Amino acid sequence: MINDRSIYFQIPKVNHEGFFVQYDDLPHFYDQLHHHPELQLVYIMEGSGDLFAGDRIIHFEGGDLFLIGSNQNHLFKSDQEYYDEESNKHSKSISVFFNRKSLREGFFELVETNTIKNLIERSGRSIRFSGTVAHAIGPQMLRLINRNDFNRFLEILSILHRLGETADYEYLASVSWDNPPTYKESQKINAIINFILNNYKRDIQLDEVAQVANYSKATFCRFFRQRTRKTFTRFLNEVMVANARRLLIKTDLNVSQICYESGFNNVSNFNRQFKRITGLTPKAYLKKYENSQDEMPQSSS
């Protein structure tokens, strides 16, 4: 459903159930910027791409776990290969939608649910949980598909309680957003972001991306910063670094090859921007990732 404020999604059953569970098996994820009043806990079973939430863009893949805050603008843009007509790839996820009003008034004020209440309060900036946490919670998310109403309810409370207790997460947005864009603005942001994601490997000029939104360069820069809290250059660098992070852990390409494959035109600038955005050099980032995989607990199933 679309109203005159933004691309707004109405989750039809969340007002009749304490929690609404949705299983998606699609060629690719929905790639339009949107928001909804419900929080969304989403576990990526299969698929990869880029997640834009609030003012940040990161790469996602199977095994990731996110909590998207109430009315937080977001989109999951699958990698280009998922859009190919002959592709046999699937994008699968399990989502739990809920909000403070889903259950009886005061439910999240109970001592027993205080941990979940604190999680909800932190969710305004949206959250990505660590690989270790996602690995531990993933089997519980999968069990939701076949649970009946009461057992599903208990399972979800258990999941939220465990997530509320962990400190092993990162925020996706610098601030909570309480002013979603208008529908017209959302259309422009969608067009801009999808243009960047589809063309970042080449040298995108400011005037051509401004034309996508039908703005002058000056107006585009003001609009883009207002709605993403970033300059176009900063956002573009984050998109390129997100791709570089994926290539580092998924391929055997060396740093120089990854630099050019991600859209940078020299290794020095690539290393500088990578460290500025991630806090680590590419080699240090890869080493940290490999160490975290060594420490990952093995599945008991």
Q: CA 21, CA 148: separation in Å to the nearest integer?
A: 11
Last residue of a domain, one of 152, 171, 190: 171
Q: Residue 7's pLDDT band (boundaries 50, 70, 90)?
A: low
Report whether 157 contacts 199 (CB < 8 A).
no
Q: CA 125, CA 257: separation in Å to the nearest integer?
A: 34
Q: CA 164, CA 197: separation in Å to the nearest integer?
A: 33
Q: What CATH number should be reported for the domain holding residue 46?
A: 2.60.120.280
Q: What CATH number should be reported for the domain holding residue 288?
A: 1.10.10.60
Q: Beta-strand (E) ranges in 20-90?
A: 20-26, 39-46, 49-53, 56-60, 65-68, 74-78
For residue 22, the cross-strand partners are: 95
**pLDDT score of 294 more than 80:** no
**pLDDT score of 228 more than 70:** yes
Q: What single letter denotes the amino acid at residue 266?
A: N
Q: What is the mean pLDDT of residues 97-102?
A: 80
pLDDT at 84: 87
Q: Residue 135's pLDDT band (boundaries 50, 70, 90)?
A: very high
Given the structure tokens 């863009």, which residue do they identify?
Answer: 57
Q: Which domain does 233 fall in, by range?
A: 200-292
Statement to judge: residues 154 and 204 lie in one domain: no
Distance from chain centroid for Cα 106: 30
Q: Tell me the pLDDT tens digit for each residue of 160-204.
A: 999 999 999 999 887 776 666 677 887 888 889 889 988 999 989
Question: What's this model's pTM, rounded to 2 decimal places?
Answer: 0.79
Token pair in block for residue 239: 């998109």
Query: Per the domain annotation, does 110 fall within a domain?
Result: yes
Statement to judge: residues 153 and 41 lie in one domain: yes
* Count: domains in the chain: 2
Given the structure tokens 């160490």, which residue do they identify?
Answer: 291
Statement to judge: residues 142 and 243 lie in one domain: no
Q: CA 59, CA 40: separation in Å to the nearest integer?
A: 18
Identify the burial level of 90 via C-beta atoms within 10 angstroms of its C-beta, where 0-12 means exposed, 13-18 middle and 19 or more buried.
Answer: middle
Q: What single letter denotes the amino acid at residue 267?
A: V
